[in-house]
Amino acid sequence: MAPASELGTGAMILRYAVVAAVVGLWMALGWVFHADGNTYLLMGVPLLWLFQRFVARRPLQELWFAEPVRFALPWWGWLVALGFMVHPLHALFTWQKPGWPTQLWLVCSVAGCLPLALSLTQLNRSRLRWLGFCLITAGSVGVLTTLLGFLLHGSGGVSGLHRLQEGLLSFLRYAPVCFVLEEVFFRGGLDSYLSRPDDRWPWVSAIYVSAVWGWWHLPVVHLREGNQGMQILTLLVMLPLVHIGVGVFFSICWRRSGMLFVPAIIHAFIDAVRNALQ
């Protein structure tokens, strides 16, 4: 019989391989179906359900909360949920010919308002500290990277007021959608599956999930004309590096706070800044 340490190492390696296989399957689907950004994101919804149900074998609620939480919103929680629903619902019914992927993306944003509001009822001083830490670390790295990209390739002619408005509206869409798409998959699903409380090298698993998250973007990256081979090689290096700089802190804050709300809000903030600067 193999020693317990060998069994533990074997199980750990298997978990790493499973994470790679799941993300690899998602990427393959993106390439095979030539998916656009929203379609690619939406593929993750059934994949995550199947993963959580049959691979991780954990309750869906644990995608958002490490500890069991009873779904019971106070009156102000329902008001918060409805408040966040206003903008994606308005966009869903007023955007001209958005196409079904965008429509379903907005539906996911509406659905994410409920776990977002429930998360607000579970905030305490410790979790607020982790939210601040996540903003200072992951938020700073993400925003500075976005600003650098804007300075190198940014377009002018857009007023500061317009950028501010676009950033705020983007945040209202992205904050709830992170509870249904992307962030919930990589932190709530994969990171929770890969990491364990007795993990001897927690940073290794956080780096691994973040690197895989970076490569996951490859199927929806648009290459410029000419020298595409060099562009792909650059992306293979730069995508994991950039996402490790943000994702490691996302993973650590998710594990320590026990709420997806912490990395999700900062993720939405970074994406809102990106959209404001586009």
pLDDT at residue 228, as a whole number: 77
Q: Whole-angstrom Cα distance, residue 68 to residue 62? A: 7
- Could you tell me if residue 66 is inside a domain? no
Q: Is 79 within a domain?
A: no
pLDDT at 219: 96
Considering only residues 11 and 229, tell me which one the structure prediction assigns the higher pLDDT.
Answer: 11
Q: Which of 136, 167, 139, 189 has its CA nearest to residue 277?
A: 167
CA 143 to chain centre: 15
Convert the pLDDT of each residue in 203-254 to its tens digit. 999 999 999 999 999 999 988 877 878 888 989 999 999 999 999 999 999 9
Q: Does the residue 186 lie in any domain?
A: yes
Q: What is the model's pLDDT at position 2? A: 42
- 67 occurs within a structural domain: no
In a domain, 76, yes or no: no
Q: Which residue from 109, 17, 97 is spatially nearest to 55, judged by alpha carbons?
A: 17
Least confident of 26-40, 54-68, 138-152: 138-152
Residue 109 and residue 38: Cα distance in Å, rounded?
12
Evaluate whether residue 69 is within a structural domain: no
Q: 200 or 65: which carries more pLDDT confidence? A: 65
Q: Which domain holds residue 51?
A: 7-60+84-277
pLDDT tens readout for residues 42-90: 999 999 999 999 999 999 999 999 999 998 999 999 999 999 999 999 9
Domain count across the chain: 1
pLDDT surpassing 70 at residue 23: yes
Is it the case that residue 159 has pLDDT exceeding 90?
no
Domain membership of residue 269 (yes or no) is: yes
Let me know if residue 157 belongs to a domain.
Answer: yes
Q: Is the pLDDT confidence value at 1 over 50?
A: no
Average pLDDT in the chain? 93
Q: Which residue, chain included where needed, has tokens 């998250």?
A: 213
As a whole-number percent, the residues of the chain with pLDDT over 70 amount to: 96
